[in-house]
Structure 1
C-alpha cells in the first residue's frame, strides 16, 4: 500500500469537488477548497478520524468495501476507481457480471433530485447510492444494504410497508430474482443471494418454488413513515447504461396529502427512523 500516493490522490479528489456536486450546502465563510474531510467521511460512512489519517498517510489498510464507498463519495471515474484500488495493493473490481460502480454523471443526477426520494440499485437488490430524501424516507444513512436480503431476514425492514402490502412485496422480490438469475445464471451476486435466502428463510424458499417471474417496473407504492405517516408514491424504475442497474425515483402528485407529507419529510431531513425501502 502506497500511503503517500493514496493520501495525495484523496486530497486532490476532495479538493476538486464542490459541495453542490454531492448535494451539500456550502454555507457561509467556507475556507476549504472543495469538500471538507468531515463531509467525505459522512458520505462514505467512516469516522472523520480514520479518513483524516488516510489523507495524512498514516491510516491502516482500507477494506474493499471502504474503497468502493470512497470511489462513490469522491465521484471517481472507473479509471480513477481502479487507480484507488491499485494504490492500496488491491485488485480493482472486474465487472464480469452486474456492475456495482455508479458513474459520476448518474451520481450528479441523483444529488439534484432534492425533493424526491431516489436511489441507484442493482437489479438484485444492492443499494448502490441514495439521495438525502431516500435516506430520510427509509431511515438508512447510506448505501450498502441489499433490500431483498433485509426483507426476508430482518422483520424491521418490513415495517415501512403496510401489513396488507407485505406479501406482495415479498412475491415481487422473489420474482425479480428469478428473472435476474435466468438472464445471468453465472452472476455470483444473485446466485449467492438466492442460495443464502433459500437456506435461511422458509418464506423465501417457499416462494422460490412457485417459480413466479417478473421484472421490477414502475408502480404505485405505499410507505409508512413514523413521523409524517402514510405516503402513496409513484415509483419510476429507470434503466441506466451500466449493466444491471436502475435509477428508482419516488414522487407524489401535487395537491395530494402525500405531496404535503413529502414536503414535510424534506424539511425534517434525516432522523433515526425505519429501515430500507421495500
Structure 2
C-alpha cells in the first residue's frame, strides 16, 4: 500500500469536486474549492476520522468494499477506480460480466434527482446506489448485508421484502424477475455472478425453480408498479429506466403523474423521508 500516493490522489480527487457535483447543497461560503472531508466520508458511508487518516497517509489499508465506496463518492472513472485499488495494494475488480462500478454519468443524473426516487441497479438485481427518496420509498440498502442488496434474491428468499407490493401484484413481479434474469444469463452465460445467483435460487426457492423451468424471457424496461408505503400509503408509480452504455446497469426513476393521488403522496414522502421514516 502506497500511503503517500493514496493520500495525494484522494486529496486531489476531492478538490476537483464541488457540492453540486455530488448532489449536496452549497451551504455556507467556502474558503477553498472542493468537497470537505466530512462530505466525502458521508458519501462513502465511513467515519470522518477514518477518511481523514487516509488523507494524512496514516490510515489502515482500506477494504475492497471501502475502496468501491470511495470510488463512487469521488465520482471516479473506471481507470481512476483501478488506480485507487492499485495504490491501496489491491487488484482492481476484473469482472467477466457486469460491473459494480457506477459510471460518473449515471451518478451525476442521480445527484440531480432530489425530489424523485431513483436508484442504480445492476442487470442481475444488485442495488448499487440510491438517492434519499429511493431509500425512503423502498428501504435503505446500505443497512443490509451486501448479499441482501439483490432484489431478486430478496424476492425469493425473504418473504417480507415483497410486502411493499399489493399481494395480487406479487406473482407477476416474481415472474418478471426470473424472465429478466434468464435474458441476462443468455447474454452472458459465463458470468460467474449470474450463474451463481441462478444456481443458488434454484436450490433455495421452489417458486424460483418452477418459474425457471418455464423458460420465459423478458428484458425489464419501463414499467408501472404499485408500491405500499407504511406512512404515506399506496402509490401507483411509473418506473422509467435509463440503461448504461454497456446495458449492465439501469438507472430506475419512480414518478407519478401530476394531479394524481400518487403524486401528492410522493410529495409527502419527501417530508417523511427526511425524518427517516423508511421501509425496513
1:248 partner SS:
strand
1:30-59 Cα deviation digits (max 9, x unpaired):
456422222222222223332222222222
Following the alignment from structure 1 to structure 2, what is the Cα–Cα distance between the partners of residues 192 and 132? Answer: 31
Following the alignment from structure 1 to structure 2, what is the Cα–Cα distance between the partners of residues 170 and 26? Answer: 42
1:210-262 Cα deviation digits (max 9, x unpaired):
22221112111011112111111001122221341222111100000111111
Following the alignment from structure 2 to structure 1, what is the Cα–Cα distance between the partners of residues 242 and 165? Answer: 22
Following the alignment from structure 2 to structure 1, what is the Cα–Cα distance between the partners of residues 194 and 141? Answer: 24
The aligned counterpart of 2:118 is 118
**Among 154, 165, 168, which residue is 1:164 paired with?**
168
1:159·1:274 contact (CA, 8 Å) conserved in 2?
no
The aligned counterpart of 1:274 is 279
Query: Could you tell me the TM-score, scaled by structure 1's length?
Result: 0.92
2:164 partner SS:
coil
- Taking a change above 3 Å as real, the CA distance of residues 150 and 41 of structure 1, as seen in their structure-2 partners, is farther
2:127·2:141 contact (CA, 8 Å) conserved in 1?
no
1:150 partner SS:
helix
Following the alignment from structure 1 to structure 2, what is the Cα–Cα distance between the partners of residues 180 and 158? Answer: 22
1:22·1:111 contact (CA, 8 Å) conserved in 2?
yes
Kindly indicate whether residue 208 of structure 2 is the aligned counterpart of residue 199 of structure 1.
Answer: no
The aligned counterpart of 2:181 is 177
The aligned counterpart of 1:106 is 106
How is 1:22-101 mapped onto 2 (pairs within 5 angstroms)?
22-31=22-31, 33-101=33-101
Following the alignment from structure 2 to structure 1, what is the Cα–Cα distance between the partners of residues 89 and 118? Answer: 34
CA shift at 1:29, angstroms? 4.5
2:100 partner SS:
coil
The aligned counterpart of 1:235 is 239
CA shift at 1:206, angstroms? 2.3
Following the alignment from structure 2 to structure 1, what is the Cα–Cα distance between the partners of residues 191 and 38? Answer: 36
Following the alignment from structure 2 to structure 1, what is the Cα–Cα distance between the partners of residues 62 and 150? Answer: 22
Mean Cα deviation higher: 78-87 or 99-108: 99-108
- Taking a change above 3 Å as real, the CA distance of residues 194 and 44 of structure 1, as seen in their structure-2 partners, is same
Deviating 4+ runs (over 6 angstroms): none
1:231·1:261 contact (CA, 8 Å) conserved in 2?
yes
Q: Structure 1 regions of 5+ residues with no counterpart?
A: none
The aligned counterpart of 1:252 is 256
Kindly indicate whether residue 136 of structure 2 is the aligned counterpart of residue 132 of structure 1.
Answer: no
Paired positions, count? 275
Q: Which has the higher contact order (CA 8 A, sep 6+)?
A: 1
1:176·1:213 contact (CA, 8 Å) conserved in 2?
yes
Query: Could you tell me the TM-score, scaled by structure 2's length?
Result: 0.91
2:38 partner SS:
helix
Following the alignment from structure 1 to structure 2, what is the Cα–Cα distance between the partners of residues 214 and 26? Answer: 43
